Amino acid sequence: MSPATANLVRPDVQSVRPIIPDRLEDLGITRSLVSDLILRCLWLHGSGTLAMLHEKLKLSFPVLETMFHQFRQQHLLEVKGMLGNDYSFSLTDAGRTLATARNEVCQYVGPAPVSIQQYHQVVKAQTAHVRLSRESLRQAFDDLVLPDNLLDALGPSLIGHQSLFLYGGTGNGKTSIAERILRVYRDTVLVPYAVEVDGHIITLFDPVVHRTAQHNEELLDPRWVVCERPCITVGGELSAAMLELQLDDATHCFISPCQMKANNGILIIDDFGRQVLSPRELLNRWIVPLDRRVDYLTLASGMKFQVPFELMVVFSTNLNPRDLADESFLRRIQTKVLVDNVTPEVFDQIFQRMVQINQTPCEPGCAEFLRERCAAAGAEFLHACYPMDVYKLVRAISEYEGRPVRMTRTNIDRAVGLYFAKVEMAKTI
């Protein structure tokens, strides 16, 4: 790990590191919620052991033993035998009746949730803090060709972990830059499987977006997962509903919205301005979160509650920012970075790097020839995507004709002819 890109761990992070709770009182959730989880788990599996409940519900053995003895006293369990030093048991008729009734309220069977209060504490303590320089930032973006002035514009925003507006012409690498911002954060964060609010369960950990990381913290509360900082990208599909809690009809528990899953990480709004959700609607929804770093969600009962909004929101668009949002919204996006059309020098560097990465034989002067052909085909500006896009067409042509891939003037000319729409035809349409 490079010292320049290492995370600066705040001194209060370890103090809120959740350790394994050995008492029901230390779980932060009610006894009745724990009871319901155990009943539903046994009802679903037919029978169980303390080890099975520990694996499924992520509760400590002392907590499970306490509940086990309580259930036996209430005649909700019957012991079938012993498996080594563990009990094998199942629900009694009374236990199944109670489990069936509780299952009608909620069908969630999974790791026990953490309290919303503890979630607040941990997320706030995990706020990103990094040291960056131009050289360390260049290392993070080492597979892209970025000019120094662009790196110098990105650096301050990444240090502050503030919202970022990337704008400029299409094909200039805005999305590629946004997706690589996560590289500057080399630490891990804790993400709970679920959060409890007013007796309701909100699932949070999502294996699709949360990448687990190895750790050796033996005392860590297993209801939390050690993950890399998350990075979530949403595009044209973004709607108002995606920013709110979603009630799962199958389990009757809530699914957290994308911004909550992205806490302590990055949320990329790609092609901003082309979503189902209009920029003005997004402004009205996020004007407080972007300013105060807290969000407000609503349960089905109408109860509102507060959640952290500790994430970097990256807006990426090829539209004019002033056409998308008013001044009050733009003020809350701390940094606006223009990802401009590339210069001929940068274009040639991108071309040469593309050839090297793909180990493709190349005639001398092909980069300059490609620039000329793009201009002749009607390209008003040079875009960073042209070299790779044209290479992919050259490769496809070569594979179609059953010959080795080579970057030659002839192949480039054919690829450019396929890549750009004919100017004369475009004028007649």
Question: What does the alpha-carbon distance between residue 324 and residue 339 come to, in Å, rounded to a whole number?
Answer: 17
The string over 135-151, giving b where at least 16 C-beta atoms fall within 10 Å of a residue's C-beta and e elsewhere, is: ebbeebbeeebbeeebb
By C-alpha distance, which of 163, 207, 160 is closest to 184?
160
Residue range(s) occupied by CATH 3.40.50.300 in the chain = 119-338
pLDDT beyond 50 at 127: yes
**pLDDT for residue 128 is more than 90:** no
CATH number of 30-111: 1.10.10.10
Task: Find tokens 């804790």 and name the residue.
Answer: 190
317, 273 contact by CB (below 8 A): yes
The H helix count followed by the E strand count for the chain is: 17, 17
Confidence of residue 129 (pLDDT cuts 50, 70, 90): confident
pLDDT of residue 423: 56
Residue 411 pLDDT grade (very low, low, confident, very high; cuts 50, 70, 90) = very high
Residue 4: per-residue pLDDT? 40
Question: Which residues have C-beta within 8 Å of that of residue 102, sequence separation ≥ 6?
Answer: 36, 39, 40
As annotated, the residues of the chain forming the CATH 1.10.8.60 domain(s) are 344-428
Tell me the whole-structure pTM to 2 decimals: 0.87
Structure tokens at 60: 């400590």
Q: In this predicted structure, what is the pLDDT of residue 15?
A: 59
Query: How many CA atoms within 13 Å lie on the side-chain side of 19?
Result: 5
| Whole-number pLDDT of residue 13 | 55
Instruction: Between 423 and 278, name the one with better pLDDT.
Output: 278
Cα separation, 339 vs 166, in Å, equals 7
Surface-to-core class of residue 292, CB atoms within 10 Å of its CB (0-12 exposed, 13-18 middle, 19+ buried):
exposed
Which CATH fold topology does 344-428 show?
A: Helicase, Ruva Protein; domain 3 (1.10.8)
Q: Predicted confidence band at 14 (pLDDT cuts at 50, 70, 90)?
A: low
The pLDDT of 173-194, averaged and rounded, is: 93
Res 159: pLDDT: 85
Q: Which CATH class is domain 119-338?
A: alpha beta
CATH 1.10.10.10 positions along the chain are: 30-111
With a pLDDT cut of 90, the percent of the chain lying above it is: 72
Confidence of residue 6 (pLDDT cuts 50, 70, 90): very low
Mean pLDDT lowest among 196-200, 279-283, 293-297: 279-283
- Asked if residue 316 lies in contact with residue 174, where contact means CB atoms within 8 angstroms, the answer is yes
End-to-end CA distance of the chain: 55
Once rounded to an integer, what is the mean pLDDT over residues 350-377?
95
**pLDDT number for residue 201:** 96
pLDDT of residue 25 exceeding 70 = yes
Q: What is the mean pLDDT of the chain?
A: 90
Distance in angstroms (rounded) separating the CA atoms of residues 326 and 203: 35
pLDDT tens track for 300-333: 889 999 999 999 999 998 888 878 877 777 777 8
